[in-house]
Structure 1
């Protein structure tokens, strides 16, 4: 198999299946079910995940003139993205039944969005990252306004598009300035060029603009203003997807750029990310405290979790990358699971929106209520859940690097978060009186949870539980991803282009290379 085909095998599969879904959709009768298209998209997602696992056995794969690099790092995030898309598709097979005739477009856009996200994680050239970012963004812009008959859906899509375009401009300016300062847009060449650059200030300004662009995608404060309105107006399964998978891809890009491309400037960008982490945690949790709408509350919660993840960027490189990758996986599992439950409870019209509407929910839907409670406890960080170990690794890695105060701010914010998560949990298990019973809940029709939705929720629960009880295998893969991201003499030796990659690495890092050779000689 050609290295170019092998490097993009998951993306090729997803693209082919997405096109097939689009071609098949018009062939179905106007009132016919679109579930077969959903199952086809699910099979394509599983095949893409299997292709990523197949790539893992090849070590490092370099393709398309060095713009694509598939290694343990990119494969780890491929798994996360494929898992999120799989749970989302399983949970939303029945979401559009009887309400929309364009469900086929939803399944195709989910796959195309995943193509862009996966492309971002394996790109080591900034313009290629931009291509993946736009593929992902265009898909999610459309999906945010998928409930065309509701004004909030259109508002959500327009706000997301306008602010997203504005943030993309910052990212492009950052790429342009990076080229001006270092003479390249390839991450490894940028790292080599920083040592000889005559304009280090321009290089740092370029990185700052790139961080602004990525900060929008991950909902980090102060670039979070779009998040509550977009999450509130978008369909629940779409929010579950866009709050996890695009963030995973964006954080993967930021990890590569900072720890690999701009590693020599860590003493400068670490301070910037320290401030963004503290702001995101504090603003996110304080904003969630005053929310009565459940989706807006979870939106501010996602801002806070972006801050928790940014804490890992202040740690030592190998430990920080592993902690960030592990936390990304845990956050993806518990957050997509929480929104999958909201999808099953509220339905297409989302009749349950406020905290009052959830009062006494456990009396009507005990199993779904218990599942949502489990995800809320994991989001808090209760032991034996993935959320606990995710925060533990992130805060521990920050403390090892000497950022004790940032870890303290994170722990204090985790305490604040307990209030609004437990407030929703208390409402679910409160026995309502005649005065407090919600008409929306009282008139809520019983919706049978389909087999596919049960499978999706089971996967999310299992992933959250395994990450909390047996985190070792996933953490080992995250640590392997961290090693693959950092420049080292050993990493190129495992690639298909072993000799040329090692030579290139020695050219870019002469001092470290000589030290390695001297150590080997002795």
Structure 2
């Protein structure tokens, strides 16, 4: 074994895991010390630097084939670390504002990120399960951070119970696949794939476990309650980094372990799930007054858009999903960040859209940025959300799945209503109660400005500066 090469391949995950241990140690020695936040931020910047360095390299195996690095796995690491870094930048001010700024949160974020990196590069069902569980357990803890409120405890308990239930599906599916093929290696499973009932049942259960983690219908039940109960910046982390890691793992499993065999038409299955998810997510989001619940159902719909690219089952489709996750992370963290900015102010429940009346003029900078993020989420040009949707729908059309793309376009058009509804309250409704708005730190506002600039820039110049998209995401 090339131990040095293996450690280098998983260096971003190692950095975040070691930093997590350092943060927990700091908290144990000196509770509430500010250095824990700065250690978290610095470690994520260093890990992101090494992640960017590996972009454009071919997909290679490490740790005796347990993990892969480079290629689409490297791109997934960058998305995960980018989303995590901005969520951490936003969390310090927000958690202080709601009196829940515990250093243990940063430790949980770092450990969860290490699990996500393992999940996104999993090349074996064992490493896939380890990454998934490391991520999930930390998210369960963060979901219950506001434990003194009934809503927080209920959301965390629901997330834990349903998460454990879905993990059972995934683990049982992995066991059946091992029984059918005699290996837990993802490429090995693909090489031994057959139409045997044992193999088909294992593949189905494995997909069910994945679909729960990405909030696809009908496995979405936990999402609205958990998103609403969790502190907003941590909700942004759940909605972006964890979803990106799971979709990256799905890409590796679908492209390497589940080839087309008789009786296993997973493209058709994913197409049906994508259609149901897009329609259901958008329809229920139309009637939501709570912005966090609206964004929760919106995230369900966005999972459906990503499933459109997966359904194409082509290198173009997988690359489109990767770019879509990048776009989704930027605009969704930004939208949740603006909501969190308003929520820091006491006196009104700013997650209720009615209480946003008139704030577009009272805080014009936040109003403009919220408008940018919502326009992008709706898929309106020239923002990055439009480019992401264009890529996944174009991949479906090129794979002769035109009806699926048409449903996606229509569902995206319907989403414009509930996104623009927020802007109507920001700019075209009179404030019904005067409240003093607490300003955020320069770092908080700077992070949101950078996210807004990225949303505009990658909408105008969608090819990443590290190289062409297809050249960047190699390995298929």
Decide: shared fold, TM above 0.5. Answer: yes
Work out whether residues 235 and 348 of structure 1, in 8 Å CA contact, stay in contact via their aligned partners in 2.
no
Displacement after TM superposition at 1:54 (Å): 3.4
Displacement after TM superposition at 1:479 (Å): 1.9
Work out whether residues 267 and 313 of structure 2, in 8 Å CA contact, stay in contact via their aligned partners in 1.
no
Where does residue 462 of structure 1 map in the other structure?
A: 453
Deviations 1:263-284 (A, max 9, x none): 2349700000000100000000
Separation in 2, partners of 1:411, 1:83: 28
Displacement after TM superposition at 1:138 (Å): 0.7
Work out whether residues 159 and 226 of structure 2, in 8 Å CA contact, stay in contact via their aligned partners in 1.
yes
Work out whether residues 280 and 307 of structure 1, in 8 Å CA contact, stay in contact via their aligned partners in 2.
yes
After superposition, the Cα gap between the structure-2 partners of 1:265 and 1:464, relative to the gap in structure 1 and judged at 3 Å, is: farther
The counterpart of 1:23, out of the listed 15, 22, 25, is: 25
Where does residue 307 of structure 1 map in the other structure?
A: 304
The counterpart of 1:337, out of the listed 334, 337, 354, is: 334
Work out whether residues 309 and 321 of structure 2, in 8 Å CA contact, stay in contact via their aligned partners in 1.
yes
Unpaired runs of 5+ residues, structure 1, are 487-522
After superposition, the Cα gap between the structure-2 partners of 1:466 and 1:226, relative to the gap in structure 1 and judged at 3 Å, is: same
After superposition, the Cα gap between the structure-2 partners of 1:218 and 1:98, relative to the gap in structure 1 and judged at 3 Å, is: closer
Deviations 1:304-333 (A, max 9, x none): 000001000122511111111010100111
Q: Give aligned pairs, total.
A: 472
The counterpart of 1:365, out of the listed 363, 366, 370, is: 363
> RMSD across aligned C-alpha pairs, in angstroms?
1.9
Displacement after TM superposition at 1:455 (Å): 2.6
Separation in 2, partners of 1:57, 1:303: 30
The counterpart of 1:262, out of the listed 258, 263, 266, is: 258
Work out whether residues 384 and 468 of structure 1, in 8 Å CA contact, stay in contact via their aligned partners in 2.
yes
Query: Could you say which structure has the larger radius of gyration?
Result: 1
1:240 partner SS: helix
Where does residue 400 of structure 2 map in the other structure?
A: 402
Unpaired runs of 5+ residues, structure 2, are none
1:295 partner SS: helix
Q: Does 1:207 align with 2:203?
A: yes
Instruction: Tell me whether 78-87 or 141-150 shows the greater mean CA deviation.
Output: 141-150
Displacement after TM superposition at 1:462 (Å): 2.4
- The TM-score normalised by the length of structure 2 is 0.95
Separation in 2, partners of 1:39, 1:368: 25
Deviations 1:149-169 (A, max 9, x none): 222111111111000000000
Alignment of 1:273-352 (within 5 A): 273-347=270-344, 351-352=349-350
Where does residue 115 of structure 2 map in the other structure?
A: 116
Separation in 1, partners of 2:468, 2:51: 13
Alignment of 1:359-508 (within 5 A): 359-432=357-430, 437-439=431-433, 442-443=434-435, 445-473=436-464, 476=467, 478-480=469-471, 482-484=473-475, 486=476
After superposition, the Cα gap between the structure-2 partners of 1:473 and 1:101, relative to the gap in structure 1 and judged at 3 Å, is: closer
Work out whether residues 167 and 212 of structure 1, in 8 Å CA contact, stay in contact via their aligned partners in 2.
yes
1:62 partner SS: strand
After superposition, the Cα gap between the structure-2 partners of 1:283 and 1:130, relative to the gap in structure 1 and judged at 3 Å, is: same
Separation in 2, partners of 1:110, 1:73: 23
Separation in 2, partners of 1:377, 1:11: 34
1:69 partner SS: strand
Where does residue 504 of structure 1 map in the other structure?
A: none
